[in-house]
Amino acid sequence: MKTFDLLKNLTETPGPSGFEKHITENISQLWEPFVEIIHVDRIGSIFASKSGSGIEPRPQILLAAHMDEIGLMVKEVINRGEYGFVRVTNLGGVDIRHLYNQSVIIHGRRDLPGVMASQPARMLPDERKNEPFGYEDLVVDPGLHTETLMELVDIGDFISFRQPLRKLLGNNVTGKALDNRASVAAVTICLEELQDRHHEWDIVAVATAQEETRLLGAYTATFAQAPDAAIAIDVTFAKGAGLTDQGYPELNSGPMLDIGPNVHPGMFKALKEAAEAIEMEVSVGTHARGSGTDAFGIQVARSGVPTGLVAIPLRSMHTMVETVNKKDVERAGRLLAEFITRLDSGFLNHLAKAMMEEEE
């Protein structure tokens, strides 16, 4: 499948944290040709397993890419006038600065398109006149009469943002939910490539649920699978409008490999070596406390999992105009496939020994 179409399919399907059912169905269809078993757990994460060819007992590598996007939820239906409106709360870290007049869909008894609206600033209380419109003032305007709205919408119904995927210059694409559907696409590309390649280890690819709220899927999926090693795939901040500081990668500079407390140094090294083996340029990122990704939860499941972190550079994270370079998505997928094919029966021993070897 062409990368643009893959990204379009993934980003335009609704699936905010806690309400991943639709996106789960899509991912299931996309992964099904490449794996043996697919199942969805009680938290909503979707697991796809594929056996390796090594001698049993085979170690297992877990690939985790969160499938949830940020979104909104109905917290109150305003039924005072002729037209009905909906007050909302956030699902995940929504950037409220850019919500005004964005396009959304309320998933009530049926899907209702609407637009984010507010009283004009001059009519707000003084303390809010000069701030971005917040949740006290923003409402969703679905353009429906009150009685109709009340029949169709309940408190707790979820709301997704509405944005088609578009092409920019170069190989850049822009839309919503590229955080983290770009990574789900990368995992899809990885699984597709592994169709024709030999790998010793068993693979479990997990599209985790509820990362944006509390890394819920990362903790629970890793506990359930108890893998021998894991890689989290997420997005990272790329230089762009509003972010020109040093230290951030450009779009099209390849995947970023992260180092820091959430990453096992041996996993970082092995990912770097895999990139060198296929002459792929990568950048290196750091986190000094937490990586803000599934790696944080994966690493401390049960008695601990050696974890790596691969990230796709992305501009304007958590807005409706997130932008990635298609080539970076493809590169991430290929890098994962290369890393997996290089896993052998000695890898875990090698990771363990590295913990106690003096530096040269």
Residues making contact with another protein (CB under 8 A)? 17-19, 21, 41-43, 73-76, 87, 89, 91, 136, 154-156, 210, 213-214, 216, 219-221, 223-224, 246-247, 259-261, 264-265, 268, 284, 286, 288-290, 299-300, 302-306, 351-352, 355-359
Q: Which is nearer to another protein, 134 or 170 (CB)?
A: 134
With b meaning 16 or more CB within 10 Å and e meaning fewer, what string describes 1-12?
eebbebbbbbbb
Least distance between another protein and beta carbon 43 (Å): 4
Q: Which is nearer to another protein, 155 or 168 (CB)?
A: 155
Q: Which is nearer to another protein, 73 or 177 (CB)?
A: 73
User: What radius of gyration do the chain's Cα atoms show?
Assistant: 22
Least distance between another protein and beta carbon 18 (Å): 3
Least distance between another protein and beta carbon 351 (Å): 7
Distance between CA atoms of residues 75 and 90, nearest Å: 10
Least distance between another protein and beta carbon 123 (Å): 18
In 10 A of CB 63, how many CB atoms?
25
Q: Which is nearer to another protein, 33 or 57 (CB)?
A: 57
Least distance between another protein and beta carbon 310 (Å): 15
Tokens of 54: 């090594």
Query: Which helix (DSSP H) or strand (DSSP E) does residue 105 occupy?
Result: strand 103-107
Q: Strand 139-141 to strand 111-117: parallel, antiparallel, or no bridges (unpaired)?
A: antiparallel
Least distance between another protein and beta carbon 300 (Å): 5
Q: Which is nearer to another protein, 164 or 261 (CB)?
A: 261
Q: Which is nearer to another protein, 101 or 286 (CB)?
A: 286
Q: Which residues 6+ apart lie within 8 Å of 233 measured at CB?
A: 63, 64, 65, 180, 183, 186, 187, 309, 310, 311, 312, 332, 336
Q: Strand 158-161 to strand 283-286: parallel, antiparallel, or no bridges (unpaired)?
A: unpaired
